[in-house]
A and B are shown apart, each in its own frame.
Chain A
Amino acid sequence: MHVVVFTRSTPDTAAKVEVGKDGAVSWGDAATVVNPWDEYALEEGILQAKNGGGKATVIAIGAEMHNEALKHSLAMGLDEAVRVWDSALEGSDSLAYATAAAAAVNKIGGVDLIICGKESVDVGTDQHIYQIARKLGWTMLSYVSKILAVDYAAKTIKVERLLEQGKQIVTSKLPVVISVMKDINEPRYPSFIGIRKASKAVIPVWSLADLGVTLPETRTKVERFMNLPVREGQVEMIAGTPEEQAAKLVERLLEEKVL
């Protein structure tokens, strides 16, 4: 059995992100880190590969910046890392990414389980996961908060999903694409030896030609990025005893008609 985890790099969540005069997005000298949601996916990949007696491969689609996430993944203990990149993917949309992702999974072959994070915290399009599944023709189970049972021989899986109105228990046949939630596990920190090994690893890059795939036409395009409009009006500080503060606050909220 083989598990594939998808990940990407994002700016550190504490970064101040801004659009410069030239229209480019920058996050100063803040670090680039593995997408925080993907840490749970990576941990689950390691656990499931061990559980099924197989291997776990991590894939990132994107330019060199995404090596950061792959090195972190290797340092955590994933067996292999691959980066998929091709100039034809520059500026393309999720449809193109999903097509390339599905081709990479097919190239690896024998994959029973794909694990993704819930979403990427930067561009946060939250669509790759479903589109990878459709391009592969596999089932998709999103927002998985627990893997209750998995039988790689019988090719079945049972999971708990966290939806808006509550928890759903679902069974499915493998192969399947899942996206995992924060509660599913406690991601490990890379070990010192892991970090050393990862820093030396040479990560292969697969082009579209290597994957033998052509991309669907790009249907959407980002025109520009904009800074947020400045929040008008300064904060009004309400002083006094708690009772006075409360009375004044309620007065204001009634004036604002938000109650």
Chain B
Amino acid sequence: MSAVFVWIETFNGAAVSSSWEALGAGRVLADKLGVPLTALVFGENAAAVAGESGTYGADKALVCTDATLNGFRLEPYAALLTQLVQQHAPKAVVAISTARGRELLAASAADTNSGLLTEATSLDISGDGAVKVIRPVYAGKILSEAVGSAAGTQYLLLRGRSFKPGTGSKAAEITTIPAALSEDQIATKIESFEEEVGSVNLTDAAIIVSGGRAMANNPKDAPAGVADAAVWKAQDGFANTLKPLADVLGAAIGASRAAVDAGYIPYAHQVGQTGKTVSPDLYIACGISGAIQHQAGMRSSKVIVAINKDAEAPIFKLARYGLVGDLYQIVPAVTAELKKRLGK
């Protein structure tokens, strides 16, 4: 029996929502090949998540709830995936290119000497089962078209927010399977996990509001005695000027490397070639010049708005809407206008 496998990533017992995009892409492959679409769900609460997978298009689900799979560790996950691929010889194994998705698929592809195509933003399959993908390379400066061989299992990592979530109406047929490794065969132990609370995940975000070096040009005076007035001003700007805008929009907060390097905001918020690659529906760049390395991380955003006091800033070449002026005047005005129009 052949199939298309899609790994459904979970966190704290709930599906990571971008996984449903992988099911959507997997559905298209399975239909073209005329094979069933099988969701793979491992770890805590896997049975419930597998139950949900039918409504996103899965025909079947393979579920493993062994305690070794709670939290994510590469060894037990990769061993199980590899075992399943060896048993079922699926045509393809699909996942979203998250931190965990990347390592799981790359590891299992190595175990089975299979082909792996990563960061796909579009996907096609020929009648004989050879997959063709388009993926951005050189930090998104150019595109590459790559093909996999029709023989064997093709592993595919998809860029998030590039494929539509799947839809379905029937319940997936669930099969429970045992783990491939026991606890004493696993060299790693998770000691603790410190969840970052209250912030929207940048790569999943539909809207991103980003601030650059200019956040330090806050007209507010830093209180006497702060160690670094520029850092205080920028942090105050992120918290009291950008955050309110992000809040009305339900947006995540991004930043340029200049803002990160200056200590205005943690690295987790950095967008760009050495930060995160994002492709939201709307990206609002505030006081960011638009250096090529910043563009590398956000150029595939659908609509880009640039707010910058320098009409010559390169960001305007990429933007759909450009507003020349002081971000500390424009951003609060936009926030107020949105509150009015969206009735918040």
Residues of A at under 8 Å CB distance from B?
A: 11, 13-14, 16-19, 25, 27, 36-37, 93-95, 98, 121-127, 129-131, 133-135, 139-143, 158, 162-173, 176, 181-183, 216-217, 219-228, 231, 233, 235-239, 242-243, 245-247, 249-250, 252-254, 256, 258-259
Contacts and interface: CB of A to CB of B under 8 A. Distances in A.
Contacts of B262: none
Main secondary structure on B side of the interface with A: mixed
A172 B74 CA distance: 12
B113 A131 contact: no
B145 A223 contact: yes
B333 interface: yes
B246 interface: no
B262 to A, nearest CB: 14
17 contacts: A11-B138, A94-B106, A95-B109, A123-B138, A130-B106, A163-B99, A164-B203, A167-B196, A168-B190, A223-B132, A225-B144, A226-B145, A228-B141, A235-B322, A237-B316, A238-B323, A259-B338
B317 interface: yes
B204 to A, nearest CB: 8
B143 A93 contact: no
B152 to A, nearest CB: 7
A121 B190 contact: no
Contact of A172 (B149, B188, B193): B188
B325 interface: yes
A127 B102 contact: yes
Given A122-B137, A166-B196, A238-B321, 4 more contacts: A140-B74, A142-B102, A182-B267, A253-B282
Given A93-B115, A227-B142, A259-B249, A162 B190 contact: no
A121 B274 contact: yes
Query: Residue among B74, B106, B326 with the most chain A CB within 10 A?
Result: B106
B324 A237 contact: yes
A247 B334 CA distance: 7
Contacts of B137: 122-124, 225
Contacts of B71: 168
Interface in B111-156: 111, 113-119, 132, 134, 137-149, 152, 154
Main secondary structure on A side of the interface with B: mixed
B279 to A, nearest CB: 13
Nearest to A10: B138
Give the 4 A-B residue pairs with the shortest CB-CB distance, closest first.
A219-B115, A246-B333, A130-B106, A134-B110
Given A242-B329, A245-B325, A228 B110 contact: no
A127 B111 CA distance: 13
Interface string B328-342: 011011101110011
Given A216-B113, A242-B333, A245-B333, A13 B293 contact: yes
B107 A219 contact: no
A220 B187 contact: no
Contacts of A247: 337
B292 interface: yes
Interface string B146-175: 111100101000000000000000000000
Given A95-B115, A224-B145, A13 B292 contact: yes
Contacts of A125: 118-119
A125 B115 CA distance: 12
B11 A165 contact: yes
Nearest to B140: A228
A151 B149 CA distance: 44
Nearest to B341: A250
A226 B142 contact: yes
B319 interface: yes
A182 B272 CA distance: 13
A170 B152 contact: no
A6 to B, nearest CB: 14
Given A171-B189, A220-B147, A258-B303, A16 B141 contact: yes
B323 A249 contact: yes
Contacts of B341: 250, 254
B31 interface: no
B342 A259 contact: yes
A166 B141 contact: no
A143 B268 CA distance: 12
Contacts of B143: 225-228
A36 B274 contact: yes
A141 B119 contact: no
A145 to B, nearest CB: 9
B189 A172 contact: yes
B139 A122 contact: yes
B32 interface: no
B94 interface: no
A13 B257 CA distance: 13
B282 A134 contact: no
Interface in B266-281: 267-268, 273-274, 281
Contacts of A239: 324
